[in-house]
A and B are shown apart, each in its own frame.
Chain A
């Protein structure tokens, strides 16, 4: 254990937090201390944690603002759910869900590449607005998409379910604004936690690898990174696609936790992307463990304080602004440095460090 370096130790702490939280929840569940309301929150909690961690990869590590995370989640959700609906009878649920997760991740990754190649050439503000636009396009598309299946194969339409021309035995799978109904309920808290751990494992290892350092170099200074031979497009695309595919996995989990999957502004709209951004900002931009904790706290807190639920979004907004001002304003930064606890403490120990400087 002594040989374990600092990063590995830090990563282990992050994994341990998740595992301990899981054990505590399970113990509480066994002893019957979890209300049905809280139980219903457990899987969404995992989804938010995964989304927050994956968005932090783009915002914190790559240093670009993506407002289309809900869009990638939506793509993953529909792809995974569609697969599960098609193979509902053909496969055991465990294998089917595993494949659905992989398919959701793959489809979201493809969309990530498609949108990433053109978009990553743009600078920050443009990237934000284009990813936002992408999310809205996906939401719109899902609301006019109709796919059905009968014995002759798949039918596809963008008009209405009548235009599919299904035979009487055929079934509409994706039904426009009604979305997909009857997705098997495969998601569980345990699977969610396993997926969180996998996500953390992938992202933490990426960050501390050679590739991760290249990505952070691009964030800190693109031109300098380029001049020492870092392939900017490649690494940007790598981070963006990985983040998109993880959001897709979260989408699959989301789809398999509800019986009806619809692309509403509430679940896959701009607001969802913003909420994930709030998690990331509150947890600390670039701090993966922070994202995990803030996603959990911000999801549970409004439920625990029921009286505040009306003000929840308002509080989020104020928190977002206050955090940004406090963390990033040059004045606040110097203020914090001057009065930081660490410095005050160290000053006490060495009273003459003023003279030394």
Chain B
């Protein structure tokens, strides 16, 4: 029974990773850049909901929606101000270092605004927990909502990319920017849209993460952000189902590692997985190999 409950916790945590990883993988697929600030957008989403729901007493659903809007705008502003000018830069390191700077900026802004103290986040989920097998197995409301949200987002996003014009434009831009532009696709607009979607997802992930683990600090987003990138690499970067599989596997590995090996070593185990994956199959589980052209 304990194994089963660990597995469920793992899937729940993994679903959060998967939602974050979706944002990473979409942005990486299109802009070919590692958006280090993605994790900190999660933190911003968490704080917005905290201020609105706990501070101003707005209904949770409304708070989550506003948080998504705030994060969407934030994501687009970051892209416009910090990343777009460097898109054609000579060195690929330039935009990566800028992204680190943005991540750092968001953390320290939050530190100035809200202080270093841990804020206790009130869960926005009101669904009661399900008790199974005579009380031996409890599935919390947060877990149910997280898993459902993850599935809905995944299905929605796949449909969006397959069925809509904007989604097809995203695919085209991720394959070949130049050719896409020649076909009349607004490349800059598509990239901005990707950042917007990714950031909105980050807000959702932030709320779910803080509901399950109810402590909020300016550094809340950094570690899950990095782990979600690990998940994205694990599943094959650029692939939406890959991000999903990678996220859930990573969540399970982390929870099982915490339970059976060592709670202090859980992060180390997750990162060791990353190194092993990159060694054995650098393209990830569902990734495509792209040959470098001279």
A interface residues with partner B (beta carbon < 8 Å)? 59, 63-65, 67, 118-119, 121-122, 124-126, 128-130, 132-134, 136-137, 140-141, 143-144, 158, 223, 270, 274, 277, 281, 285, 310-311, 313-314, 316-318, 320-321, 324-325, 327-332
With A133-B230, A141-B268, A270-B222 as given contacts, are A328 and B282 in contact (CB-CB < 8 Å)?
no
Query: Among residues 88 to 121 in chain B, which have CB atoms less than 8 Å away from a CB atom of chain A?
Result: 88-98, 100-102, 104-105, 107-109, 111-112
With A317-B104, A321-B82, A321-B102 as given contacts, are A129 and B34 in contact (CB-CB < 8 Å)?
yes
Query: Among residues 235 to 276 in chain B, which have CB atoms less than 8 Å away from a CB atom of chain A?
Result: 262, 264-265, 267-268, 271-272, 274-275
The answer on a CB contact under 8 Å between B264 and A143 is yes
B interface residues with partner A (beta carbon < 8 Å)? 28, 33-34, 82, 85-86, 88-98, 100-102, 104-105, 107-109, 111-112, 222, 226, 229-230, 233, 262, 264-265, 267-268, 271-272, 274-275, 278-279, 282, 292, 294
With A65-B96, A324-B97 as given contacts, are A126 and B112 in contact (CB-CB < 8 Å)?
no
Contacts of B107 in A (CB 8 A): 313
Shortest distance in angstroms between A91's beta carbon and chain B's nearest beta carbon?
34
The answer on a CB contact under 8 Å between B91 and A320 is no
A144 to B262, CA, bound (A): 9
**Besides A134-B271, A320-B104, A328-B89, 6 new A-B residue pairs in contact (Cβ under 8 A), listed by A number:** A132-B226, A133-B274, A134-B275, A143-B264, A274-B100, A318-B101
The answer on a CB contact under 8 Å between B97 and A281 is yes
Which residue of the partner chain, among B94, B105, B108, B267, contacts A328 with CB atoms under 8 Å? Answer: B94
Could you count the A-B residue pairs with CB atoms below 8 Å apart for me: how many are there? 129
Shortest distance in angstroms between A143's beta carbon and chain B's nearest beta carbon?
6
The answer on a CB contact under 8 Å between A122 and B278 is yes
Contacts of B85 in A (CB 8 A): 325, 329-332
The answer on a CB contact under 8 Å between B96 and A128 is yes
A313 to B91, CA, bound (A): 25
Which residue of the partner chain, among A124, A285, A316, contacts B92 with CB atoms under 8 Å? Answer: A124
- Write 24 A-B pairs (CB below 8 A) sorted by A numbering: A59-B93, A124-B92, A125-B34, A125-B92, A125-B96, A126-B278, A129-B230, A129-B233, A130-B274, A130-B278, A137-B267, A223-B294, A270-B222, A277-B97, A285-B91, A311-B112, A317-B102, A318-B105, A320-B98, A321-B105, A328-B90, A328-B94, A330-B88, A330-B90
Query: Which residue of chain A has the shortest Cβ distance to B273 in the bound complex?
Result: A133
Contacts of B88 in A (CB 8 A): 330
